[in-house]
Structure 1
Amino acid sequence: MDARFLGIADLVEAPSVAVVVDVMRAYTVAAWAFAQGAEKIVLAESLDEALALKARHPDWVALKDGPPAPGFDAVNSPGLLRSVDLGGRTVVQKTTAGTVGALAVKEASLVLCAGFVVAEATAQLLRTRGSDRVTFVVTGEDGQAEEDLACAQYIARRVDEAGTDAAEFLRRAAESRAAAELAEGVRQGVHPDDVALCLELDRFPFAMVATLEGALMVLRPVSPRNDSGGTGS
């Protein structure tokens, strides 16, 4: 597989197949939302759009980065979200980097959103789809986030080499600036378990596919074993 690793600002054209990586914490949170029963996640372009969607659909769960805020139901923390019952609910998610990255490649034929918690399922889906060329979008720190790059490189390696050891990639993520900021309380809306939860390898058996549904970019869980999608290249 021919893999490219780009920051959001480096995306000059829509790739055919994109894997958008945000380990700490957008797509770890998204995976937990599905594990807690969410039906789908709408990726909002702005806080205002998230609030507008929530106003139109009061039963939806609006989620954002940082501290709690009026109009929002939850924050972007896996440690805090894991105790919330989201059975059958729609989540609206707006984060600093993760959701921005997915929206930047919304014209791609296949968009996967990933972190370590869904790494193997993501690699499996790429193998199933026969994806020859894949653009990995490293969302954090203008494409320099070590945790996102490590995860992206690990998934890319797993596509071609199923026996790839995750230890070195997880170590890089654990020593990243984002991990330090979460652990030290620099960021708000944080649970003490967030870093550990973001570094749980293959916690969930599904990949996460984002598609345009009307005007909205919608994320859903997909089992690689039951995937019936077309082939990407």
Structure 2
Amino acid sequence: MDARFLGIAELTETPSVAVVVDVMRAFTVAAWAFAQGAEKIVLAESLHEALALKARHPDWVALKDGPPAPGFDAVNSPALLRSVDLGGRTVVQKTTAGTVGALAVKEASLVLCAGFVVAEATARLLRTRECDSVTFVVTGEDGHAEEDLTCAQYIAKRATEAGTDPAEFLHRAAKSRAAAELATGVRQGAHPDDVALCLELDRFPFAMVATSEDPLMVLRPTAVPVGVVPGA
């Protein structure tokens, strides 16, 4: 598999297959939302669009980065979301990096959103689809977020090598600037357990596929068959 690792600003053409990585915290939060029963996640282009969607659909759950704000129901924290019952509901998510990255590749034939919590399922889906060329979008810090790059590299290796050891990758992510900022309270709308939850490898058995449902970009969990062996 030919893997490229690019920041959002480096996307000069639409890739065929894109894996958009935001470990801390957009797509860890998305995975937790599905685990808490959410049916789908609408990826909003702006805070204004998120609030407009919420206004049109009062039963939807609007979620954003940073501290709580009027009109929004939740913040971008996996630890704060894990006790929320989202059974059958739609979540509208707007974040600084993750949702931006997904919308930047919305024309790709396959768009996956990922973090460590769904790493194996994401790699397995890439194997199942026999993807020859994959662009990994490193969303954080203008493409330089160590936790996103590390997770992308791990998924790429896991897609082709059965014996990939995750320890080094998780260690690098744990030493990232984002992890330090979350741990020390620099980032608002955070919980002390967020870092540990973001680094919980393969917590969930599903991959997350984003598709255009005109005019929206919608993320859904996707079960992936077990048994496709790397290199087989």
Is TM > 0.5 for Structure 1 vs Structure 2? Answer: yes
Please give the alpha-carbon distance, in whole angstroms, between the structure 1 residues aligned to 2:27 and 2:184: 21
**Equivalent runs, 1:1-233 vs 2, <5 Å:** 1-225=1-225
After TM superposition, give the deviation of residue 146 of structure 1 in Å.
0.1
Please give the alpha-carbon distance, in whole angstroms, between the structure 1 residues aligned to 2:220 and 2:20: 14
Partner of 1:231 in structure 2?
Answer: none
**CA deviations over 1:151-178 (Å, ceiling 9, x no partner):** 0000000010021000000000000000
Q: Which runs of 5+ in 2 are unaligned?
A: 227-232
Q: Which amino acid aligns with 2:156?
A: A
Partner of 1:229 in structure 2?
Answer: none
Q: Which runs of 5+ in 1 are unaligned?
A: 227-233
After TM superposition, give the deviation of residue 49 of structure 1 in Å.
0.1
After TM superposition, give the deviation of residue 150 of structure 1 in Å.
0.2
Please give the alpha-carbon distance, in whole angstroms, between the structure 2 residues aligned to 1:129 and 1:75: 34
Q: Which amino acid aligns with 2:145?
A: A
In the superposition, the TM-score normalised over structure 1's length comes to 0.96
Please give the alpha-carbon distance, in whole angstroms, between the structure 2 residues aligned to 1:17 and 1:9: 17
Indicate the SS of the match to 1:131: coil
After TM superposition, give the deviation of residue 209 of structure 1 in Å.
0.1
Q: Which amino acid aligns with 1:84?
A: V
**CA deviations over 1:121-151 (Å, ceiling 9, x no partner):** 0000000000000000000000000000000
Q: Which amino acid aligns with 1:18?
A: A
Aligned-residue sequence identity (percent) comes to 88
Please give the alpha-carbon distance, in whole angstroms, between the structure 2 residues aligned to 1:25 and 1:41: 15
**CA deviations over 1:76-119 (Å, ceiling 9, x no partner):** 00000000000000000000000000000000000000000000
Indicate the SS of the match to 1:170: helix
Aligned length: 226
Please give the alpha-carbon distance, in whole angstroms, between the structure 1 residues aligned to 2:8 and 2:202: 25
Please give the alpha-carbon distance, in whole angstroms, between the structure 2 residues aligned to 1:89 and 1:192: 26
Please give the alpha-carbon distance, in whole angstroms, between the structure 2 residues aligned to 1:187 and 1:158: 31
Please give the alpha-carbon distance, in whole angstroms, between the structure 1 residues aligned to 2:3 and 2:160: 11
TM-align CA RMSD: 0.6
Runs of 4 or more off by more than 3 Å in structure 1? none
Q: Which amino acid aligns with 1:30?
A: A
